[in-house]
Amino acid sequence: MFRFAQPHMLYLLILVVVVAGVGAATFYLRRRRLERFGQVETLRELMPEASPRRERYKAIMILLAMAFVVIALARPQMGSKLRKVSRQGVEMMLAVDVSNSMLAQDIEPSRLERTKYAINRLLENLGQDRVGLVAFAGEAFVQLPVTADYVTARNFVNQLSPDMIDKQGTAIGAALELAASSFSSGSEGARVIILITDGENRGDDALATAQAIAKKGIKIYAIGIGTPEGAPISIDGDFIRDKDGKLVVSKLDEQLLQKIALGSGGAYIRATGTSLGLSEIVTKIRQMDKKRFATAEFEEYNEKFQYPLAAALLLLVAEIFILDRKNRILARFNIFK
């Protein structure tokens, strides 16, 4: 397999084309100026040491060298090899509430945006642990399977939005059940669910689901985001109202989240304006026994940038040794004739 690690660098080839165009225009204008003084063939006899052909060859060499440098900057890679890496850590499934109530702004800029920011900070500090992501509202789905690719994980976190799920509500039980079934095989004993929600559960028995999950040895850490006083929910600048026209106020339900977390041997933390609580939870998680996960395979590519770079260097060296004018001593070795 062949690929460029930084293909955007190939746009610099446009610069090479521009330089070539300028050079061609320069040679043309010089020839036109010579033609004003007489026939070019006659003028060349008056300048026996001048060699336009040498100048063209030198210009072509410089352009090719520039092109090879651009190709080297794009980092061409050939083939692939597999490197086996084993990880020792904990698997964390993040169950994130993306219902409309997460748009409330009692936690600035909003509950959901603050959650996304905190998860991104968490991912920046992880090393050996693996993470997965479950998004839920009135129903739940796996947004990201368990992975050690934190860059990909951040991309999926940034996509979290209430628009992802048509069915509104807060089905905490469904989210916990799906998260518990999404761990990889072989990670038993090192499984953790981090539930981030305002706790306004609707439509299922979240506590019973949490108790069943706890029997499997999975700890649940809950983060309550919001305030007990609550805040109205704004969507595109318009506040949600009930059928009587009153503002819908979303309030944090801490009692349910505390029961879910403590019943599984985990912990409950209320988010604040300065801290979501993820760092405190991760500190507790790091005290758990680590698990050596099944060996993962990572695909790597062999770097080939040194070859176009060497070609560019050879062309530049050759260009230096080619003289602009003919040399009487070297005339018998005229390779440009």
Q: Give residue for tokens 């009135």.
A: 138
Structure tokens at 282: 């991760």
DSSP annotation of 268 = E
pLDDT tens-digit series, residues 67-88: 999 999 999 988 766 666 666 7
Residues 6 or more apart whose CB falls under 8 angstroms from that of 66 comprise 15, 16, 19, 312
Tell me: do 94 and 69 sit in the same domain.
no
Structure tokens at 2: 């062949």
Residues 6 or more apart whose CB falls under 8 angstroms from that of 141 comprise 134, 135, 165, 178
Tell me: do 14 and 114 sit in the same domain.
no
Structure tokens at 220: 């649940």
Strands (DSSP E) contained in the chain are 2-4, 76-85, 88-89, 91-97, 130-136, 140-147, 191-197, 219-224, 231-232, 234-235, 238-239, 249-250, 268-270, 291-292, 296-303
Query: Per-block average pLDDT, block size 10, for the chain (337 residues)?
Result: 87 93 84 64 56 78 94 86 68 94 90 92 84 94 92 94 89 94 83 90 82 93 91 84 84 90 91 82 77 57 89 90 60 51
Tell me: do 19 and 118 sit in the same domain.
no
Backbone angles phi, psi at 173, to 5 degrees: -60, -45
3-state secondary structure of 76: strand
DSSP annotation of 277 = S
Tell me: do 91 and 187 sit in the same domain.
yes
Range of the domain at 174: 87-292
Structure tokens at 84: 């086996």
297 in a structural domain: no
242, amino acid identity = D
Tell me: do 161 and 41 sit in the same domain.
no
Tell me: do 186 and 57 sit in the same domain.
no
pLDDT at site 336: 47
pLDDT tens-digit series, residues 7-30: 999 999 999 999 999 988 888 787
Tell me: do 133 and 15 sit in the same domain.
no
Tell me: do 94 and 141 sit in the same domain.
yes
Number of domains the chain is built from = 2
Distance, in Å, from the CA atom of 244 to the CA atom of 226, rounded to the nearest integer, reads: 25
Q: Give residue for tokens 């900057």.
A: 73
pTM of the model: 0.62
Tell me: do 175 and 238 sit in the same domain.
yes
48 in a structural domain: yes
Tell me: do 70 and 107 sit in the same domain.
no
Distance, in Å, from the CA atom of 110 to the CA atom of 308, rounded to the nearest integer, reads: 51
Q: Give residue for tokens 């985001």.
A: 225
Burial string for 152-190 (b: 16+ CB within 10 Å, else e) reads: ebbebbeebebeebeeebbbbbbbbbbbbebbeeebeeb
